[in-house]
Amino acid sequence: MRAIDLSHDPKRKSWVSSANAPDGDFPIQNLPFCAFRRARSAEEFRGGVAIGDSVLDLGALHELGVLDGPAAHSLGACARPFLNALMGLGPEASSALRAGLSAALRTESTLAPRLRPLLIPQEAAEYRVAAQVGDYTDFYASIHHATAVGKLLRPDNPLFPNYKWLPVAYHGRASSIRVSGYDFARPAGQVLPPGAALPELAATRRLDYELEVGVFVGRGNELGRSVPLREAESHLFGLCLLNDWSARDIQAWEYQPLGPFLAKNFATTVSPWVVTLEALAPFRVPWSRPPGEPPPLAYLDDGTERGSGAIDIQLEARLDTARMRAAGLAPQRLSHASFRDSWWTIGQMLAHHTVNGCNLKPGDLLGSGTQSGPLPEQAGSLLELTSAGKRPIALAGGETRTFLEDGDRVILRGWCERPGYARIGFGEAVGTVLTA
């Protein structure tokens, strides 16, 4: 677990005045990383860090040469088109860079005049997925989601017997991961319509989102070497928002016996910002099992994990339809949950992923699985919120929804709040469904 230090001090302010707004996503206590360039430019992408409403150009900062020691070494890894090299350096390196950036951006820094030209308004930048994702694994770590979906499919037996013992996952598709702002056409696939005897090829009629946390792998592990739970977080870099778009009718017909395939690999949206585990240190909370539930096997259980293995990240999904935009209505909140309710922690996911010696590489991406809270209104997908399309949601402006319609825009947000600490945010992961 990362330590709380001066970089988390809520009294620390920045000479970038927009970073000092109390309800902003990007105060000096956050400092999330991205890969960016000026919008509509032919510049090479490079690393950036969010501060207030701006992004600090880490490629230019590296050229300026004002940081020294381990922070300067880490900064060199940011002057590249993707952040895999930074992620692979490990937690000591990212902590050193965080400390250096925090010192350079704080009000008392004498570097302000030299760094100010390196700030680019976030709205004038374009982003890409922060890392070149070699492999992508999607977990199923919310027991509330797994139970609710299981009840829809198997009312008498919602959870398979393995669920409480191991972090269930499938291997996803890395090539279709896109940064926030990606608009995509409603995908086609093979479906078995209700009551039909034969399947057909059709545009999906049951397109859904999944509200998830993404986790970027940091330092890798060699093939054949498992990572014990006590070391697991030292192999993780940071977290983002992730929307695992899902075509439920395609999924229902194809998923047995090998799991999701074309129902999910047409698009996955992530937020541009990667919030480091260092920034999340104040928001760690105990991880526990409810009374009466079995403890996990020893390789997934230890005192550190029980003390602070979970993270209290508020997660929210909003829907913005074409008619709502035309009428000037604000996006409507569909649900709100916390990542602290996840049955499995990010450390347990990594330890389990490598227990057989599977090698993970810097920049690999793990999805947490849909994060639903214990209450029905905290569900992280339309499948759950509408009981598989049987209970439409009423929207402001008079529309209803069971599944997503053309023109619908889904906005995921995340943030952390705790008394005595600065609020930090994840920004947004946004995607829009276009006509097939």
Taking the least distance from each CB to Ca ion, the nearer of 138 and 254 is 138
Cβ at position 170, least distance to Ca ion in Å: 9
Cβ at position 41, least distance to Ca ion in Å: 34
Taking the least distance from each CB to Ca ion, the nearer of 208 and 399 is 208
Give Cα separations from 178 to 56, 266, 281, 372 (angstroms).
Answer: 22, 10, 27, 23
Q: Is 18 helix (H, G, I), strand (E, B) or coil?
A: helix
Q: Quick check: 249 binds Ca ion (CB under 5 A)? A: no
User: DSSP readout, 217-260?
Assistant: E-S---TT-PPPHHHHGGGEEEEEEEE--EEHHHHHHH-TTT--
Site for Ca ion in 400-429 (CB under 5 A): none
Cα dihedral value 135, 36, 280, 379, nearest 10: -70
Size of the site for Ca ion (CB under 5 A): 3
Cβ at position 240, least distance to Ca ion in Å: 14
Is 145 annotated as catalytic?
A: yes
Q: Quick check: 138 binds Ca ion (CB under 5 A)? A: yes
Q: Quick check: 302 binds Ca ion (CB under 5 A)? A: no
Identity of the amino acid at 164: K
Contacting residues for 326 by C-beta, under 8 A, at least 6 apart: none
Cβ at position 435, least distance to Ca ion in Å: 24
Q: Residue 237, Cα to own-chain centre: how many angstroms?
A: 12
- Residue span binding Ca ion (CB under 5 A) among the ranges 118-126, 195-203, 237-245, 280-288: 237-245
- Residue span binding Ca ion (CB under 5 A) among the ranges 109-117, 138-146, 285-293, 306-314: 138-146
- Residue span binding Ca ion (CB under 5 A) among the ranges 58-66, 236-244, 298-306, 377-385: 236-244
- 48 within 8 A of 57, measured Cβ to Cβ: yes
Q: Quick check: 244 binds Ca ion (CB under 5 A)? A: yes
Contacting residues for 86 by C-beta, under 8 A, at least 6 apart: 33, 47, 74, 77, 78, 93, 94, 97, 237
Identity of the amino acid at 294: P
- 87 within 8 A of 237, measured Cβ to Cβ: yes
Cβ at position 176, least distance to Ca ion in Å: 13
Cα dihedral value 173, 136, 186, 252, nearest 10: 80
Q: Which residue is nearest to Ca ion (CB)?
A: 244
Draw the binding track, 183-222, toward Ca ion (x: CB under 5 A; -: no contact).
---------------------------x------------
CA distance 305 to 177: 30
- Residue span binding Ca ion (CB under 5 A) among the ranges 163-171, 242-250, 351-359, 419-427: 242-250
The single residue of 145, 235, 352, 353 carrying the catalytic annotation is 145
Positions marked catalytic: 145
Q: Which residues of the chain form contacts with Ca ion (CB under 5 A)?
A: 138, 210, 244
